């Protein structure tokens, strides 16, 4: 998805704003010089087999995201967006280290709000599924979703708890034409039927 999960991908900014804070602290006292020496000792040579190890084929399948995209978010009237409206934004996707992750940044603005964030996608070999980790300007912590391809659509699912409400989210993204992506984010509260939260259309910028 151009995902908020926008953000993530695109499309969940309003929901993510309600996410319960996830807080953790990690305190370590280490000798930085010793760490540098150890890292140098164990670092593989550039031409080693480890350095040349290819990324998972499942990550290869996500490379259609690569590049810079201009997108429009269309929000129908709902509890989360009483007046509805359209936002416009820019989504940039690049490969992470070794091609083992996809790093996506996004920023959209408009009458619905100002959403900016970072989205990381990986393939989890143990779970045999995709994972997305979204960080945004309007909520603390990280929102995690699990995904897989369902036919030609990449579908991510995640859950939020807010008081006595359980909110299930589903994002479905399709590559609909050369350099065009369509994505829909749905939400369901306490087992009720899903409702469309936002529809996204993205067009890839021509490479210079």
Model pLDDT, residue 173: 96
* pLDDT of the residue at 40: 43
Give the pLDDT of residue 102: 97
- The CATH architecture assigned to 13-17+54-156+173-183+198-204 reads Beta Barrel (2.40)
pTM for the model:
0.74
Confidence at residue 28, expressed as pLDDT on a 0 to 100 scale: 34
Per-residue confidence (pLDDT) for residue 48, from 0 to 100: 40
Can you give the pLDDT at residue 99? Answer: 94
Percent residues over pLDDT 70 in the chain: 74
The predicted structure's pLDDT at residue 1: 56
Model confidence pLDDT, tens digit, residues 114-149: 999 999 999 999 999 999 999 999 888 999 999 999
Sketch the domain layout of the chain as residue ranges.
13-17+54-156+173-183+198-204
pLDDT of residue 168: 96
Cα–Cα distances (Å) from 191 to 71, 132, 172, 197, in that order, read 30, 23, 19, 16
The low-confidence residues of the chain, meaning pLDDT below 70, are 1-54, 80
């Amino acid at each position: 998805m151009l995902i908020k999960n926008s953000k993530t991908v695109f499309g969940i900014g309003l929901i993510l704003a309600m996410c319960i804070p996830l807080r953790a602290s990690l305190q370590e006292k280490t000798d930085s010089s010793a760490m540098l020496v150890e890292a140098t000792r164990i670092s593989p040579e550039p031409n080693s087999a480890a350095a040349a190890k290819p990324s998972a084929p499942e990550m290869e399948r996500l490379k259609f995201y690569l590049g810079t995209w201009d997108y429009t978010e269309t929000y129908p009237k709902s509890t989360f967006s009483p007046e509805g409206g359209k936002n416009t934004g820019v989504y940039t996707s690049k490969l992470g280290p070794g091609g083992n992750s996809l790093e996506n940044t996004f920023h959209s603005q408009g009458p619905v709000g100002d959403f900016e964030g970072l989205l990381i996608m990986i393939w989890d070999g143990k779970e045999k599924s995709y994972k997305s980790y979204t960080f945004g300007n309007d909520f603390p912590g990280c929102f995690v979703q699990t995904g897989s391809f369902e036919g030609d659509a990449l579908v991510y699912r995640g859950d939020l708890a807010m008081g006595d409400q359980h909110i299930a989210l589903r994002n479905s993204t399709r590559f609909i034409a050369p350099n065009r992506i369509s994505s829909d984010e749905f939400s369901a509260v306490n087992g009720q039927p899903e409702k469309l939260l936002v529809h996204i259309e993205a067009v890839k910028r021509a490479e210079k």
